[in-house]
Chains A and B, each alone.
Chain A
Amino acid sequence: MASSVLICDDSNMARKQVIRSLPEELSTDVTLATNGLEALEVLKNKHIDIMFLDLTMPELDGVGVLQNLKDNNLTNCAIFVISADVQPEMQSKVLDLGAKAFLRKPVQVDVLINHLQEHGFL
């Protein structure tokens, strides 16, 4: 069965960059969210295997989403953070909060594929 994907980013361009980078087998079931609250809402109503999560967003930011999922023990979806905030402190913070990996913006196809392979999605 194909994996279901959620892309959460307030930027249309950033969402498109992720979609464009996805391999074909992951691009059949893609849901979009434009902030953290929307993402949590999607996760409540739909099974999601992989989430690509931005950090700096209005309403609820990416760290808020990770914290919320951790607090509520909702850890069955693999989260890949894709952010412009590449400071080491931020990277280790999101990994501590349960993200599978940290990817720098703008996302690069080969880097994305590598991470997906590493975590058994390809």
Chain B
Amino acid sequence: MSGLETYCAEITDKLNCGILLLDVDLKLVMWNQFLEVHANKKLAEIAGQSIFSIFPELPQRWFERKITSVVQLGTPSFCSWEQRHHLFELPHTRPITTGSEFMAQNCTFSPIKRNNKIEHICILIEDVTDVCYYQSMLKKTMNDLALSNRIDGLTQIFNRKHWEDCLAQEFAKARRHDHKISLIMFDLDHFKLLNDKYGHQGGDRVLIDIAENVTSMLRLGDIFGRYGGEEFAIILPETDIKGASELADRLQKSINQADIIFQKNCIKTSVSIGVAELDKAESHYESLISKADIALYKAKSSGRNQFCVYE
């Protein structure tokens, strides 16, 4: 070996990633110290063996097809931890402070040419356990954050902002496919009196119970949100005014009949409901809200504990 080659060999062994050389029959030609240590096998003892007998966990058919693409097309191929956590079952350097059993890996398959012919495939194995660990933590936090951005903290149903975003989407969808869509808005009757009598915690209990009660009566596609203090709203996709009125009727009765238990008190309450259906001529979802609002106002001024339809 020349001086430079000795250097290269030494550097290869110092690298903190695995280098593995296969011939086109998928037999091991060489690997560096990183792999010798992590796989805990001596190169001299296993050189010439099939990669599948050294690493029986490899998905054989997949692996062979991958190598075929490298040899036939003469191009590199990649395998990332994001799609396949690891290819080789190797231990890693953070067994204590991360949850994963095997080293997360980024693998690169490269064709190696001799005399213009591809005779070997080099596989580079990078330990990305750290990246993988922090990325999954980040992802979880992002998900939690996104969820808490959409949810009303008290009632655990959608908050107003997210509910309105949904309405805008459902409105556009209904327009695109020429589908019906209806809206229900309801308001607790005499909520202020209730708060005065039982305190704010009592009022909160009522809001939570009603949100739960209504949720249990909705279909999967219906979108329920807290619109304001004691005002709620439901988007009913692919529903006409008849269907919406039937639901409003059931909601009104069910809430009126329910007993809400708070500190050994049995609280009775009722709601006033406004119902509206999307008109073909409307071009803004906001007008659907105002129509349901007008109907709600009518229900209130006609004596509460009832529903009214916008006409």
Do A and B touch each other in the complex, judged by CB within 8 A?
Answer: no
Please give the residue numbers on chain B whose beta carbons come within 8 Å of chain A beta carbons, in ascending order. Answer: none
